[in-house]
């Protein structure tokens, strides 16, 4: 399934049905009174969150969504039927914004939440409503009110317990595929992953959701390399798994580069729990690894783990660590 995390759509609630202007017609009743019924209420447009969805792709090719109009009233004081509500399912984690794509309307953080984004119009009044002591045969009726209609933006922020971050080609997708049953595209070149991938890590029947965040680069907070779109998926993660390629020359600079991008995007992200993991230990001799990690600890004061996703060195230990940090 293709991934889409932003869409602009037009929602239109149903109009209310018109009231009826009618008079009672019965045998032996020469002057029957008014008996026109009210119009039915228009249907509303309702969003419902669904945890089993992870993309907004359904809104890419269809942009206009209309609820049903209410039915008109009829004789014998019959109220018109109400218009059917239109229920649109979106992934849990979706946010609804006004047309400016800045003013937040609603944020779906739980499964099966519902929000009425556009309310249907009220039905019009039948002529029975206008009967009075001075006007016993009113012909007046009113039209139904129009339903709400406007453009809205949908933005998806992936909800995961832990987000795997790092520079391109650090092994993030490989880590996700080893920890879960997810099957992201894996290749030995940068930007193999261009959309977040999700997987479930299950230990002792306790599930943790992991998200493979596409590689970040310098300037990501400004949108370089679509970085701002990637960064918003980190906001909801409880834990950050910072994966670093130990075979790179400047591991300290690479670590600080990502932390700097996170800070410039949203300083509160730096307060999240962090697990620093060095990958590709099979590509570097142990003496050089020891020297690199000694310098890293001295400069950053951070704890870390070392793995090789090829030889599976320390892999089970790191998997359990990730799980325990998220529970």
Domains of the chain, by residue range, sit at: 1-156, 162-326
- Among residues 47, 164, 163, the alpha carbon closest in space to that of 95 is found at 47
Read off the pLDDT of residues 223-270 as tens digits, 9 standing for 90 and up.
Answer: 444 445 677 888 889 999 999 999 999 999 999 999 998 998 889 999
pLDDT at 84: 98
Q: How far apart are CA 182 and CA 169, in angstroms?
A: 18
> Which three-class secondary structure string do you get for the chain?
CCCCCEEEEEEECCCCCCCCCCECCECCECCCCECCCCCCCCCCEEEEEECCCCCCHHHCCCCEEECCCCCCCECCCECCCCCCCEEEEEECCEEEECCCCCCEEEECCCCCCEEEEECCCCCCCCHHHHCCCCCCCCCCCCCCCCCCEEEEEEEECCCCCEEEECCCCCCHHHHHHHHCCCCCCCCCCCCCCCCCEEEEEEECCEEEEEEECCCCCCCHHHCHHHHHHHHCCCCCCCEEEEEEECCCCCHHHHHHHHHHHHHHHCHHHHHCEEEEEEECHHHCCHHHHHHHHHHHHHHHCCCCEECECCCCECHHHHHHHHHHHHC
State pTM to two decimals: 0.76
Read off the pLDDT of residues 91-106 as tens digits, 9 standing for 90 and up.
Answer: 999 999 999 999 999 9
Q: How far apart are CA 1 and CA 85, in angstroms?
A: 28
In the chain, what percentage of residues exceed pLDDT 70?
89
Q: Over range 195-224, report the average pLDDT.
A: 74
- Among residues 158, 161, 156, 109, the alpha carbon closest in space to that of 273 is found at 161
CATH of range 1-156; options 2.70.210.12, 2.20.25.10, 3.10.110.10, 2.70.98.40: 2.70.210.12
Length of the chain equals: 327
Read off the pLDDT of residues 298-320 as tens digits, 9 standing for 90 and up.
Answer: 999 999 999 998 888 899 999 99
Class of domain 162-326: alpha beta
Read off the pLDDT of residues 278-300 as tens digits, 9 standing for 90 and up.
Answer: 999 999 999 999 999 999 999 99
């Amino acid at each position: 399934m293709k991934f889409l995390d932003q869409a602009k759509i037009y929602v239109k609630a149903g109009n209310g049905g018109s009231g009826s202007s009618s008079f009672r017609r019965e045998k032996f009743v020469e002057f029957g009174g008014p008996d026109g019924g009210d119009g039915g209420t228009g249907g509303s447009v309702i969003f419902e969150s669904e945890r089993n969805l992870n993309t907004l792709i359904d809104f890419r090719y269809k942009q206009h969504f209309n609820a049903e109009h209410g039915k008109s009233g009829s004789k014998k004081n019959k109220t018109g039927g109400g218009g059917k509500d239109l229920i649109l399912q979106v992934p849990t984690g979706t946010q609804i914004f006004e047309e400016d794509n800045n003013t937040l309307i609603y944020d779906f953080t739980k499964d099966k939440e519902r929000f009425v984004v556009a309310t249907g119009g009220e039905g019009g009044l039948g002529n029975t409503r206008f009967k009075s002591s001075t006007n016993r045969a009113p012909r007046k009726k009113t039209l139904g009110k129009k339903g709400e209609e406007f453009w809205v933006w949908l933005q998806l922020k992936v909800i995961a317990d832990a987000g795997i971050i790092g520079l391109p080609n650090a092994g993030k997708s490989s880590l996700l595929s080893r920890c879960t049953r997810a099957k992201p595209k894996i290749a030995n070149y940068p930007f193999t992953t261009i959309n977040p991938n999700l997987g479930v890590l299950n230990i002792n029947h306790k599930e943790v959701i992991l998200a493979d965040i596409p590689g970040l680069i310098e300037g990501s907070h400004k949108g370089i390399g679509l970085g701002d779109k990637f960064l918003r998926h980190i906001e909801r993660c409880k834990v950050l798994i910072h994966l670093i390629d130990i075979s790179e020359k400047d591991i300290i600079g690479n670590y600080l580069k990502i932390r700097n991008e996170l800070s410039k995007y949203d300083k509160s992200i730096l307060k999240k729990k962090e697990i620093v993991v060095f990958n590709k230990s099979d590509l570097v001799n142990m003496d050089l690894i020891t020297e690199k990690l000694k310098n890293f600890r001295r400069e950053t004061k951070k704890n870390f783990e070392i793995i090789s996703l090829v030889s599976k060195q320390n892999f089970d230990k790191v998997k359990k660590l990730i799980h325990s940090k998220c529970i």
